[in-house]
Structure 1
Amino acid sequence: MMASQQPRRPVRVANCSGALTDPAEHMYNQARYGHVDFITGDYLAEANMADSAAAAAAGPDRPKWIKSAFDGIVMSLGLINDKKIKVVVNGGCLDPKGMAEAVHQEVQDKGLKLRVAYVEGDDLKDQAHQLLRGEHPIPHLDHANRSVQLAENTRSFLQDPEGMPIVAANAYLGYRAIKRGLDRGADIIICGRVADASPVIAAAAWWHKWRTTDYDQLAGALIAGHLIECSTYVTGANFAGAHNYPARDFVNIGCPIAEISVSGECVITKHKELGGFVTADTVKCQLLYELQGDIYLNSDVKADISDICVTQCRDDRVRVSGARGAPPPSTTKLAIFYQAGFQSEILLNASGYATGHKWDIQEEQVRERLRKQNQLDQLDVLEFQRVGVPMENPDCQLASTTYMRIFAQAKKAEWVMNVAAAWNYMFMAHFPALVPQSLIDESVTLIGTESDPAGRDKSRVGPPQETQPLEKRRSYETRDPVSLSSFGPCARRPLGDIVLARSGDKGANVNIGLFVQTAQQWGWFRSFMTCDRLRELMGKDWDDSFFIERVEFPKIYAVHFVVYGLLGRGVSSSTRLDCLGKGFAEFIRAVHVPIPTRFLQQDSRL
């Protein structure tokens, strides 16, 4: 009688990057300091694609891939070969083929037996105008939400293709081409604009031999990928509870590892030899980062995280479970970048008595000069943003110092240079759209064989077998609120005294997830933290053109919001100083609110 085949052990996927600024040493350290099966790297933010397009336009010989990704692979090739580690990164940016060929050459030069592949299909630049202006134009990312008002001039580039040319248009691909490459023997796969978590999903799907319809398992891997995609965020960086740990704990923070089981559940951990820490709270903070609500969308699966559970197993080991999967949407995100013009920022400071009046004078002087020279109307945007409040009775000059940020945008460089003769930078605007997955020609190409080192083996994967139409995202207030007076006397304290949070950008929108520690606190918090309350906490930053969605994650005591429109046209053209929305959560946590004193007396160890 034959024994049934046992499922494989959990696959250990180590991530080494969350942005192009992460050093190459992160990949080397993940390979060196312990056993891993895969190393993945997410090097692309939306602005990186625009920057790479601008760099490529400036000189045809300049690489259009991410240098830190290439350097990390080259530095780690010996360990990758000896330890039989698979590598999947999106560092190919606008030229995954070029980077793959450069890596292949390094492999050949070192005499290693590693096969390199690259994924194509995300580049839709040549089709972008036809897709946007055709008989059935593709919609904006937030078109289905009738309550959302798009920023002014969002579509202006479509009316001026010569003056505002598209420089890049890349669709967010899924895991299928990556897995096809692994199936066909690839050891290192270079991708362009795949979704951030797709390399992790591919690693788990290949390891456990999942089918494309194993949605619950894929959803679990999607969440695992989301948790480790941002470099050191889940191991202590950008952590709302950092004040409870000594500063030394944040030196030389290592990147995370996800151990993904055959069921899709995962344990988030790290190499013991590297710095940082993994706790239930660092995991919750990262889980709540850049969400769309309680349904997380990917090109291959939708993950319902309404019942997500986060459990501390032991030091530096946190189990995450409860994600449920469904077929993916029939569309995927298409990030379109166009040359909208030029941008100038001037940062000034003033200190001492009557600083506000000093800033009034500065603004009047600049505006009047531009008006007299008939240059004011040439500017698309001119804002005078005051940053900070001077300390009353200051104990040093710095304590009485505040900033003014003069921000200008215009179609011509000389127009913004009229605001400032220096400090002007070319910048890209960003338009997030949705493109049908059926229009994408996604493929993976393996480079070389033992018999033909220069050969190419291309394999197309086609769209997902099954998709679902996009639905309006859920949004609701708490279903059975508790009277706030029932929690007893309150003291006005910063919300952050008992609440941790994380926020980030989603195109033109900002998400913020906030959570407490105990069931008692949860009863108060879910009743307290309404949409109206968030509007109130936003203070002068609230605008009636914005729209809020709200959901709850009761098993981790979290309330999650999406604020539509806060970033204008999106990260790369937002006028906000916090253009990525990463500081939004810390701002909200700093606002004073009435907190029940019984919670302030608890040692909740945030």
Structure 2
Amino acid sequence: MSNIPSPRRPIRIGNCSGAAVDPGDIMYEQAVSGPIDVITGDYLAEANLAQAAEAYAEGKHPGWVASAWDGLQKSLRVVAERRIKVVINGGALNPKGLAVQCAEEARRLGLEDQLTIAWVEGDDLLPDVREILRPDAQSGRLPHLDAENSNVKLADDTASFLDDPENKKIVAANAYLGSRAIRAGLDAGADIIICGRVADASPVMGAAAWWHGWSDDGGDFDRLAGALVAGHLIECSYYVTGGNFAGFDEYDIGRDLLGLGCPIAEVDAGGACVITKHETLRGVITEEMVKCQLLYELQGNMYLNSDVNADLTHVAVCQVGKDRVHVSGTRGRPPPPTTKLAVFYRGGYQGEHTVNAVGYATPQKYDLLEAQVRNQLKKWKCEQEIDVLEFQRVGVAQTNPRSQLAATTYLRIFVQAATADAVRRVSAAWAYNFMQHFPGMGGTLDWRLIMNPVPFLGYFPAVVRQDRLHESVNLLESGGATSAATTTRRIGVRAPKVTEPLAPRLSYDPVAPRSLDTFGPTAMVPLGDGANVNVGFTPRARLRRDEDMWQWLRAFLTRDRVKQMMGEDWPRDDLYYIERVEFPELHAVHFVIYGALGRGVSSSARLDCLGKGFAEFLRAVHVPVPRRFLEAKNGATSRL
């Protein structure tokens, strides 16, 4: 029987973290700044677990996220006093260890009779990962996340680590768990639940399902999908209160954007939610900010999760008050029989070095340096030892510069290789030709910073069947971890009762678009004035209700148009692939570009390794925008 409060008002769930660097102060801040039922936190990016995996295995790292432990220490007394539930994934590699540590702290504070602490386990599949990664016997395909998509071209070396288990040892393999164990723990009376690699939105989904008593056998898929969207909207801490917001320049920095507070999702019994915050905390929540976060890190119109698949085609947002935005229209489908498995392995070594050039003939200067390095490596016959060598040109010198800095750009030399010595050969080749440098070459001369080889991790996004997971929630009872009377109650969690195979992703250009000529004269302005990477486009707030603006946006932003806008970043061999979908209620067009981040965050050669700057790049590209959309109410030029 679910422990469901009555009446079933909307549950208030406050987020306290979107990354491991978010300080523990936020958890305490959410607990004391106003009414709250549950505090959730997402501390894990894809590479977090793997970066500490070997140190944890050697006993040199506790396995959990330090800021999560800091938040718990600061908040235990107040969450006990106010009966606030806490569900976080800060347990990382060692959720049991953090739960035990938390229970010991509760006993030290005299709270052992007031707090039941639990942990979720079952995500760590390292002992079985090589068995899981065997190719399918019938198709011969590896269980790669994108293997079923025939349009996606995987890099030739995607699975090369499987053939070299000694040098490319797998160090971490963690499945993305859903919300079912969290729900079971809350049903059983847990007050604090420490998780490892659960999906980012799982804590919110588990809390909402517990509060409202939803089932997971198909009857409440729409509700679960709504909670998935609510979790997605608040999981990235400040991203929905002013952080990472494309329209930040329309706000006063000192008044609106400094010292932001984290958001709250009020999830009702139907799965719809209101995104808000404590009144006493700073920040701004508008339709535009919610749209910006909603379109962030999507996979198209279907948001995949191991509990439910959320169809976002007709999701709608509406401002219903100051710092209150209502989100509705999500539809749920049965989850897939599989879930994501993040596999990390030793990739080798990498290094980088930047060289500055000033002013005149910069392209030719960089041509000379690159030719010198490559020629020297060829003479030494060591080119074959280097896996990746790129000379990335960053910035454009200002014409008629007003300062030397305005005339300065830099060349980023990036290298990856199996050995540290091979990386050092690149810096040696540069040094060998140092005094033949182009005029005005600059940069650091501190050799501790020049091409210092560091180990990096390769990433393989796999899938694993949910029915082979051994997921459970474990409750510490009878007063804490080291008490003689302590027992652990384990509650196993089964795979979803109802699943359905993944359907091919939708990808389409606009259906029956209006001719671009019908929108009138244009002006060339930046569009922003108006692993895989994704980007969504939606008009600025002042234009979002203009139907003609939406019709122009959907007609203009085709897959070929985005390819053109990417310019030299689109590979000549067409290795990338673009998917496009529309969200008509949001007046938004969304794209996923497969392959743009190479092998993923932990090993990407891209300067923008997280892909966070990709949308800002496209917003800066000049395109022909109808002049009538650029006229603001006061007659001044307005941005889209």
Query: Normalized against structure 2, the TM-score is what?
Result: 0.90
In the other structure, the counterpart of 1:122 is: 123
Q: Does 1:471 align with 2:477?
A: no
Q: Does 1:550 align with 2:554?
A: no
Alignment map for 1:540-579 (pairs within 5 Å)? 540-543=568-571, 544-579=574-609
> Which of residues 227, 230, 242 is equivalent to 1:221?
227
Per-residue deviation, 1:602: 2.9
In the other structure, the counterpart of 1:79 is: 78
Q: Does 1:247 align with 2:270?
A: no
Per-residue deviation, 1:448: 2.2
In the other structure, the counterpart of 1:132 is: 133
In the other structure, the counterpart of 1:195 is: 199
Per-residue deviation, 1:426: 1.5
In the other structure, the counterpart of 1:92 is: 91
Offset from partner CA, 1:228-256 (integer Å, 9 cap, x none): 00110010001000111111121001111
Offset from partner CA, 1:439-474 (integer Å, 9 cap, x none): 100001111225965211111111011111111111
In the other structure, the counterpart of 2:8 is: 8
* Matched letter for residue 239 of structure 2: Y
Supply the distance in 2 between the matched residues of 1:568 and 1:189 (Cα, whole angstroms): 35
In the other structure, the counterpart of 2:521 is: 489
Residue 46 of structure 1 aligns to a residue whose secondary structure is coil
Alignment map for 1:518-537 (pairs within 5 Å)? 518-537=546-565
Supply the distance in 1 between the matched residues of 2:452 and 2:357 (Cα, whole angstroms): 19
Residue pair 1:138, 1:434 contacting (<8 A) in 2 also: no
In the other structure, the counterpart of 1:21 is: 21
Supply the distance in 2 between the matched residues of 1:251 and 1:130 (Cα, whole angstroms): 49
Per-residue deviation, 1:482: 0.3
Supply the distance in 2 between the matched residues of 1:132 and 1:245 (Cα, whole angstroms): 49
Per-residue deviation, 1:99: 1.1
Per-residue deviation, 1:364: 2.0
* Matched letter for residue 88 of structure 1: V
Count of aligned pairs: 592
Supply the distance in 2 between the matched residues of 1:437 and 1:101 (Cα, whole angstroms): 27
Residue pair 1:488, 1:596 contacting (<8 A) in 2 also: yes
Alignment map for 1:43-122 (pairs within 5 Å)? 43-57=43-57, 59-112=58-111, 113-122=114-123
Residue 426 of structure 2 aligns to a residue whose secondary structure is coil
In the other structure, the counterpart of 2:466 is: 437
Residue pair 1:150, 1:569 contacting (<8 A) in 2 also: no
* Matched letter for residue 43 of structure 1: Y
In the other structure, the counterpart of 2:236 is: 230
Q: Does 1:151 align with 2:132?
A: no
Per-residue deviation, 1:211: 0.7
Supply the distance in 2 between the matched residues of 1:546 and 1:366 (Cα, whole angstroms): 29
* Matched letter for residue 509 of structure 1: N
CA RMSD of aligned residues (A): 1.5
Cα gap change, 1:481/1:15 in structure 2, threshold over 3 Å: closer, same or farther?
same
Residue pair 1:295, 1:304 contacting (<8 A) in 2 also: yes
Residue 277 of structure 1 aligns to a residue whose secondary structure is coil
* Matched letter for residue 522 of structure 1: W
Residue 433 of structure 1 aligns to a residue whose secondary structure is strand
Q: Does 1:266 align with 2:240?
A: no
Offset from partner CA, 1:362-404 (integer Å, 9 cap, x none): 2122223322333222111111101111111111111111111
Residue pair 1:220, 1:266 contacting (<8 A) in 2 also: yes
Q: Does 1:342 align with 2:371?
A: no
Residue pair 1:417, 1:424 contacting (<8 A) in 2 also: yes
Per-residue deviation, 1:484: 0.6
Offset from partner CA, 1:156-204 (integer Å, 9 cap, x none): 0111111111000000000000111111111110100000000000010
Alignment map for 1:388-399 (pairs within 5 Å)? 388-399=395-406
Larger CA deviation: 129-138 vs 529-538: 129-138
Cα gap change, 1:605/1:373 in structure 2, threshold over 3 Å: closer, same or farther?
closer
* Matched letter for residue 229 of structure 1: E
Residue pair 2:347, 2:455 contacting (<8 A) in 1 also: no
Supply the distance in 2 between the matched residues of 1:227 and 1:390 (Cα, whole angstroms): 39
* Matched letter for residue 44 of structure 1: L
Offset from partner CA, 1:9-50 (integer Å, 9 cap, x none): 100000011110111111111111111101000000111122
Cα gap change, 1:134/1:598 in structure 2, threshold over 3 Å: closer, same or farther?
closer
Residue pair 1:138, 1:435 contacting (<8 A) in 2 also: no
Residue pair 2:134, 2:143 contacting (<8 A) in 1 also: no
Larger CA deviation: 353-362 vs 285-294: 353-362
Supply the distance in 2 between the matched residues of 1:242 and 1:422 (Cα, whole angstroms): 36
Q: Does 1:292 align with 2:308?
A: no
* Matched letter for residue 10 of structure 1: P
* Matched letter for residue 533 of structure 2: V
Per-residue deviation, 1:478: 1.3
Per-residue deviation, 1:78: 1.3
Residue pair 1:150, 1:568 contacting (<8 A) in 2 also: no
In the other structure, the counterpart of 1:279 is: 286
> Which of residues 598, 616, 619 is equivalent to 1:589?
619
Supply the distance in 2 between the matched residues of 1:272 and 1:546 (Cα, whole angstroms): 45
Residue 71 of structure 2 aligns to a residue whose secondary structure is helix
Supply the distance in 2 between the matched residues of 1:69 and 1:367 (Cα, whole angstroms): 46
Per-residue deviation, 1:79: 1.1
Residue 91 of structure 1 aligns to a residue whose secondary structure is coil
Supply the distance in 2 between the matched residues of 1:195 and 1:462 (Cα, whole angstroms): 17
Per-residue deviation, 1:425: 1.9
Supply the distance in 2 between the matched residues of 1:105 and 1:453 (Cα, whole angstroms): 14
Q: Does 1:449 align with 2:478?
A: yes
Supply the distance in 1 between the matched residues of 2:272 and 2:639 (Cα, whole angstroms): 27
Supply the distance in 2 between the matched residues of 1:348 and 1:133 (Cα, whole angstroms): 44
Alignment map for 1:504-519 (pairs within 5 Å)? 508-516=531-539, 517=544, 518-519=546-547
Per-residue deviation, 1:422: 4.4
Residue pair 2:125, 2:174 contacting (<8 A) in 1 also: yes
In the other structure, the counterpart of 1:178 is: 182
Supply the distance in 1 between the matched residues of 2:452 and 2:76 (Cα, whole angstroms): 41
* Matched letter for residue 284 of structure 1: K
* Matched letter for residue 25 of structure 1: D
Q: Give unpaired runs (5+ residues) of structure 1.
A: 499-507
Residue 237 of structure 2 aligns to a residue whose secondary structure is coil
Per-residue deviation, 1:134: 6.2
Residue pair 1:20, 1:68 contacting (<8 A) in 2 also: yes
Residue pair 1:429, 1:573 contacting (<8 A) in 2 also: yes
Larger CA deviation: 187-196 vs 539-548: 539-548
Offset from partner CA, 1:329-352 (integer Å, 9 cap, x none): 110000000001111111222223
Residue 70 of structure 1 aligns to a residue whose secondary structure is helix
Per-residue deviation, 1:6: 6.9
Residue pair 1:359, 1:404 contacting (<8 A) in 2 also: yes
In the other structure, the counterpart of 1:321 is: 328
Residue pair 2:315, 2:330 contacting (<8 A) in 1 also: yes
* Matched letter for residue 256 of structure 1: P
Larger CA deviation: 60-69 vs 352-361: 352-361
Q: Give unpaired runs (5+ residues) of structure 2.
A: 428-449
Residue pair 1:447, 1:453 contacting (<8 A) in 2 also: no
Residue pair 1:492, 1:595 contacting (<8 A) in 2 also: yes
Residue 505 of structure 2 aligns to a residue whose secondary structure is coil
Per-residue deviation, 1:135: 6.2
Cα gap change, 1:76/1:6 in structure 2, threshold over 3 Å: closer, same or farther?
closer
Larger CA deviation: 61-70 vs 411-420: 411-420
Cα gap change, 1:597/1:460 in structure 2, threshold over 3 Å: closer, same or farther?
same
* Matched letter for residue 389 of structure 1: V
